Amino acid sequence: KSMMKWLILIGAVFSAGCSLIGIRTEEVPQYEVIHAERVYEIREYPSYLIAETKVEGDYDEAVNKGFRRLAAYIFGNNLSRRSFQNELQVQPDSSEKMSMTAPVEVMKEDRTFWSVSFVMPSQYTIDSLPTPKDPRVVVREMGNRKTAVFKTSGFHSEEKMQKHAEGLRRWIEPKEFGEALQASIMVYDPPWTLPFFRRTEITLALRP
């Protein structure tokens, strides 16, 4: 038991050290880059699953509250689904811990509400994902989509999202990749990652 505790501790320290300098081990959604210029990209994403929650407040409040709510869901505040006679059924006395993924996506819904979402591990389907116990958490499928992306690093904020979203709109406007819609910010690293190692992206959904 003592050896196992040491191995777990060493693994935790190694993982924290990797994340400090931006080495990422979490699963991220697959995508194809169809056009790239310097810090800009046009990407096509196949469909994937997310857990999403709506939060009222300013940007920092939304990120903190939304993250805690979604983290609680993936770390066990849920009801497992198990196969029984070829059907997936909710297990009222069983929860499930899922792997952490990246990125966390934050989008402003209106003046006071934000959408915060986690990508779900690709091993799940919409039918096999655990059911959230918190009614404020919703799981759903993000359909195939095309996005414009500005790649940056450092700290993330509402001001940073708005500033770079405007630059991204100006970059996309003369091109023929589609109409630029709502902006979001994608955060790939934990708060303790050194700023210049952080991966942060501002995105615009594109409508054909």
pLDDT of residue 126: 93
Distances from the Cα of 5 to the Cα of 2, 16, 123, 129, angstroms: 5, 16, 28, 30
* Cβ–Cβ < 8 Å for 46, 144: yes
Closest CA to 20 of 195, 167, 193, 143: 193
Task: Read off the pTM.
Answer: 0.83
Average pLDDT over residues 28-40: 96
> Which segments of 23-102 are extended strands (E)?
32-37, 40-45, 48-56, 78-79, 81-84, 87-90
Q: pLDDT for 44-72, tens place per residue?
A: 999 999 999 999 999 999 999 999 999 99
Q: pLDDT for 95-127, tens place per residue?
A: 899 999 999 999 999 888 999 999 999 999 999
Whole-angstrom distance, CA of residue 5 vs CA of residue 27? 26
Above pLDDT 90, what percent of the chain? 70
Please give the domain boundaries of the chain with CATH numbers for all domains: 29-207 (3.20.80.10)
Sign of the alpha-carbon torsion through 29, 25, 202, 75:
positive
Average pLDDT over residues 85-102: 77
